[in-house]
């Protein structure tokens, strides 16, 4: 187990915030994790588990313990004529897992190429893009319950997956389970999902294969989203809000071009990016933080932003959208 004191987190958050934590603890296996969970001093501190910090905003230095999983490894644990089951350590890089599955001809994860982060977080966040989400391939999630140290294996239905949501994100469970491994069921006879975004156009004359779908998704993402290596950001800052149909019908009279995706008879989903742009927030700045010109759902660090700058800008965006449309935006990122 690696334990660091007064440790810089600059390389552990994609916003590029230069903050420190009192302690940084990285465990390499389940035995290390069990040891940590028997430590009374650990529980006397405030603590937070991170992956690659690609969905976080540190509001300042962290006066406690930042925990990170270095459980690595990807193992084929089962195979039939049609499927393979991969068990991946929570500390594995997500896109490396996607690349590995594509190289081997196993389908299911290719539309989720280039999403930053680790395997453990993919199961917490239910990451999604281009018509796919992690839940579509997750068979089991292996986790450790902090209060007792007890190991628990969650089946897919027990993870209660929904749009960008899971059992692990519910307020009553948040931060209470540390994920150690995730089991994915992948197809040896993949069906390609090409009808989202510009995937079909990007593939062009090439034959659709796992590799060309992956390349197309990567090319589209690189053209639309800022690269955290050069411009700090956490991807989509807000979740697309769901509003009641009556509210939507009222707004539609004033904004007939408002994009909408019916969820059920009572609810309509509206793109947060459209709301932010129409509320006049595109390109707005607060200190070192700015709304990204190409995609208003993304807040960027212009180089010298503090977590407070980012939070202030997010509040300004929420207020502007609330005032114009009466809609409350919810951040997708975690404030720490
Ligand atoms: C440029 C960019 C593009 C993005 N695009 C997308 C996208 O298309 N779709 C999408 O869904 N997301 C997207 N995101 C958001 C982000 O990539 C995901 O939320 C990702 O899953 C976060 O992974 P992470 O390892 O960085 O987790 P962190 O941000 O470090 O943590 C996220 C959450 O997971 C928890 N967590 C992490 N590891 C564990 C563990 N082992 N056990 C228990 N809890 C854990 C943390 O406590 C926290 O609640 C994007 C982000 C960026 C920067």
Q: Which of 28, 277, 316, 332 is catalytic?
A: 332
Can you give 153-197 as a three-state secondary structure string?
EEECHHHCCECCECHHHCCCCCCCEEEEEEEEEEECCCCCCCCCC
Q: Which pLDDT score, from 0 to 100, does residue 304 have?
A: 92
Q: For residue 214, which of 81, 108, 308, 119 has the smallest C-alpha distance?
A: 108
Q: What angle do CA 134, 136, 142 make, to 5 degrees?
A: 60
Quote the domain boundaries for residue 116. 74-224
* DSSP letter string, 63-131: EEEEEEE----EEEEEE-SSEEEEEEETTSBHHHHHHHHHHTT-BSSGGGTT--SBHHHHHHHT-EETT
Helix (H, G, I), strand (E, B) or coil at 329: coil
Residue to mutate, 13, 48, 50, ligand 1, most ligand atoms under 8 Å from C-beta: 50
* Rounded-to-integer distance, Cα 177 and Cα 300, Å: 30
Counting from 1 in the atom list of ligand 1, the atom nearest the Cα of 126 is 11
Alpha-carbon separation of residue 292 from 56, 127, 277, 282, 320 (angstroms)? 17, 21, 10, 7, 16
Q: Please report where in the chains the tokens 């993870």 appear, as a residue.
A: 159
* Sequential pLDDT tens for the chain (336 residues): 999 999 999 999 999 999 999 999 999 999 999 999 999 999 999 999 999 999 999 999 999 999 999 999 999 999 999 999 999 999 999 999 999 999 999 999 999 999 999 999 999 999 999 999 999 999 999 999 999 999 999 999 999 999 889 999 999 999 999 999 999 999 999 999 999 889 999 999 999 999 999 999 999 999 999 999 999 999 999 999 999 999 999 999 999 999 998 888 899 999 999 999 999 999 899 999 999 999 999 999 999 999 999 999 999 999 999 999 999 999 999 999
Counting from 1 in the atom list of ligand 1, the atom nearest the Cα of 179 is 42
The sign of the CA dihedral 57, 60, 61, 65 is: negative
Alpha-carbon separation of residue 112 from 42, 48, 101, 272 (angstroms)? 35, 26, 11, 21
What share of residues in the chain are helix, strand, coil (percent, to 5)?
30, 30, 40
With a 6 Å cutoff on the Cβ, whether 334 touches ligand 1 is: yes
Distant-in-sequence, close-in-space partners of 40: CB < 8 Å, separation ≥ 6: none
Same structural domain, 138 and 181: yes
CATH classification at residue 30: 3.30.43.10
> Are 79 and 327 spatial neighbours (Cβ–Cβ below 8 Å)?
no
* Rounded-to-integer distance, Cα 256 and Cα 302, Å: 35
CATH classification at residue 261: 3.90.78.10
The sign of the CA dihedral 34, 37, 156, 71 is: negative
Same structural domain, 195 and 302: no
Residue to mutate, 11, 30, 66, 115, ligand 1, most ligand atoms under 8 Å from C-beta: 115
Same structural domain, 9 and 137: no
With a 6 Å cutoff on the Cβ, whether 127 touches ligand 1 is: yes
Whose C-alpha lies nearest to ligand 1, atom 10? 127
Number of domains the chain contains: 3
Same structural domain, 218 and 93: yes
> Are 181 and 139 spatial neighbours (Cβ–Cβ below 8 Å)?
no
Tokens linked to 131: 């018509």
Q: Which pLDDT score, from 0 to 100, does residue 197 have?
A: 83
Q: Which pLDDT score, from 0 to 100, does residue 119 have?
A: 98
* Angle formed by the axes of helices 94-103 and 210-224, nearest 10°: 150
**CA of 125 relative to ligand 1 center, distance in Å:** 6
Same structural domain, 263 and 327: yes
Q: Confirm whether 332 is a catalytic residue.
A: yes
CATH classification at residue 112: 3.30.465.10
Same structural domain, 118 and 12: no
Same structural domain, 79 and 218: yes
With a 6 Å cutoff on the Cβ, whether 117 touches ligand 1 is: yes
Whose C-alpha lies nearest to ligand 1, atom 3? 235
Same structural domain, 194 and 62: no
Same structural domain, 236 and 297: yes
Q: Which of 69, 113, 122, 236 is catalytic?
A: 236
Whose C-alpha lies nearest to ligand 1, atom 43? 178
Task: Choose the final residue of a domain: 224, 251, 280.
Answer: 224
The sign of the CA dihedral 112, 114, 119, 123 is: negative
Whose C-alpha lies nearest to ligand 1, atom 50? 235
Counting from 1 in the atom list of ligand 1, the atom nearest the Cα of 124 is 34
């Amino acid at each position: 187990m690696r334990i660091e004191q007064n440790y810089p987190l600059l390389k552990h958050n994609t916003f590029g915030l230069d903050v420190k934590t009192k302690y940084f603890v990285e465990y390499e296996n389940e035995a290390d994790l069990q040891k940590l969970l028997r430590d009374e001093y650990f529980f006397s501190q405030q603590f937070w588990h991170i992956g690659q910090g690609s969905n976080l905003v540190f509001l300042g230095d962290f006066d406690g313990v930042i925990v990170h999983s270095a459980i690595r490894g990807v193992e084929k644990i089962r195979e039939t004529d049609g499927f393979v089951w991969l068990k991946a350590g929570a500390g594995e890089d997500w896109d490396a897992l996607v690349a590995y599955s594509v190289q081997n001809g196993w389908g299911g994860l290719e539309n989720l190429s280039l999403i930053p982060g680790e395997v453990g977080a993919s199961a917490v966040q239910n990451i999604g893009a281009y018509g796919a989400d992690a839940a579509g391939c997750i068979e089991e999630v292996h986790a450790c319950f902090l209060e007792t140290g007890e190991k628990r294996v969650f089946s897919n239905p027990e993870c209660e997956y929904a749009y960008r949501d899971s059992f692990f994100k519910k307020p009553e469970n948040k931060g209470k389970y540390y994920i150690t491994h995730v089991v994915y069921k992948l197809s040896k006879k993949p069906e390609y999902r090409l009808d989202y975004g510009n995937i079909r156009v990007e593939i062009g004359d090439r034959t659709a294969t796992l590799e060309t779908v992956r390349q197309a998704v990567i090319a589209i993402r690189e053209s639309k989203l800022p690269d955290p290596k050069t411009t700090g950001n956490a991807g989509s800052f807000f979740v697309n809000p769901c509003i009641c149909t009556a509210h939507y019908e009222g707004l539609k009279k004033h904004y007939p071009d408002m994009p909408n995706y019916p969820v059920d008879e009572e609810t309509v989903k509206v793109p947060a990016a459209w709301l932010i742009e129409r509320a006049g927030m595109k390109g707005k700045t607060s200190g070192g933080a700015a709304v990204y010109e190409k995609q208003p759902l993304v807040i960027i660090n212009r180089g010298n932003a503090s977590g407070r700058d980012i939070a202030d800008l997010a509040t300004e965006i929420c207020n502007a959208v609330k005032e114009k449309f009466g809609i409350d935006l919810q951040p997708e990122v975690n404030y720490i």
